[in-house]
Amino acid sequence: PNLPAKFNSERHNLTLGAQWELDLWGRVRASKRAARASAMGQAADFAGARHSLAGQVSKAWMLSIESHQQLRLARSTVTTYKTTVERIRARYKQGVGSSLDFRLAEASLAAAKANVAERIASASQATRQLEILLGKIPLNQIQVPDKLPKMPSTIPVGIPADILSRRPDIVSAEQGLKAAGANVREAKANLYPNISLTGNTGTSTSELNKLVSGDSFVWNIGANILQPIFQGGRLRQNVIIQKANLKSAESNFRSVVISALGEVENALDTEVQLLIMDKSLEDANEQSKAAANIAQERYDQGLENIITLLEARRRAIEAESRWWSIRRRLLDNRINLHLALGGGFKITDNQILNY
């Protein structure tokens, strides 16, 4: 069909509307503050989970290293006992020594072999746990260093208490407290009427080329007074609920801070005791090795019995094994202290968490 060159009647309408609420009672401000505090709290929770995972990975790494050290010690013990058994066998064939010596040495060798199997299982389990935490398939293939790292620098005296303010859980609890306070203010503001401004802008033309040429902006300023008559009971009840939530948030914040202080104190006290144990076991390790060597020489000379020799060997092995365990526990405790403080011993620009 043929279209007419010009429409006889044509009209275009364009209307835009907008509404702004006058925040006379602070309801909108409180709502925004609550939302922002909640978002920052969630960011802090994420940072806390990240820190916790880093601590778990670090501890698993240390445990894997120590487990392999214990395994090497167990295998070395088997080698030592094999040598002892061969010496006793040779002495027994020469008519020196007794079958009791030989059987006691064989029993110690068998126990050492069993310990190797146990250490293999422990090392494999520790390595697989590390691989799981790293998001790898637990195939017991990850390689770890042969020795535990050296202990970091000593703890400085007089760590400021406000250093705990960077802990993610404290940040989260603090933001939760702020959000709860803002929610109370918002609930109270809801008891008052909402006042809004409504604006309408419109154009009307009979020709297309005049659609956007008109510049007409008409404001309707009106007070939409919504008296909360029928919702008064519900709104007042919401205020009570939000106040209860605020008290709960205050209690939670207090509990988190106290718990954080306890974790720091425990870690500091534990380090002192572990350092004492570390020094004592280091001395015990050196003395036990020296005693075992002396016992071996005296046994070879016929001046000592097999029981003394085997006991000296057992003590030397036990002292070294315990020493490795204490050194790993020292590193674990330093990780605990790092987590308890929310970082190192000083707050620097690159250590401040941005939530």
Q: Three-class SS of residue 195?
A: strand
- Is 193 part of a structural domain of the chain? yes
- Is 5 part of a structural domain of the chain? no
Domain count, the chain: 1
- Is 214 part of a structural domain of the chain? yes
The whole-angstrom separation of Cα 92 and Cα 82 is 15
Task: Tell me which residue range forms the domain holding 165.
Answer: 12-351
**Dihedral sign of CA atoms 76, 314, 323, 129 in order:** positive
What is the pLDDT, as a whole number, of residue 300? 85
Q: List the 195-205 sheet strands across, edge first.
A: 12-22, 195-205, 217-220
- Is 229 part of a structural domain of the chain? yes
What is the pLDDT, as a whole number, of residue 232? 62
CATH number at residue 340: 1.20.1600.10
- Is 260 part of a structural domain of the chain? yes
Ordered per-residue pLDDT tens for the chain, 355 residues: 444 444 344 444 444 444 555 666 778 888 899 999 999 999 999 999 999 999 999 999 999 999 999 999 999 999 999 999 998 888 888 877 788 998 999 999 999 999 999 999 999 999 999 999 999 999 999 999 999 998 877 887 777 777 888 999 999 999 999 999 999 998 888 887 776 655 554 444 444 444 344 443 334 444 445 555 556 688 889 899 999 999 999 999 999 999 999 999 999 999 999 999 999 999 999 999 999 999 999 988 889 899 999 999 999 999 999 999 999 999 999 999 999 998 877 765 444 445 4
Q: Three-class SS of residue 205?
A: strand
- Is 336 part of a structural domain of the chain? yes
Beta-bridge partners for 198: 19, 220
In this structure, the number of other CB atoms found within 10 A of the CB of residue 333 comes to 19
- Is 197 part of a structural domain of the chain? yes
- Upper half-sphere CA count for residue 222 (Cβ side, 13 Å): 11
What is the pLDDT, as a whole number, of residue 24? 62
- Is 4 part of a structural domain of the chain? no
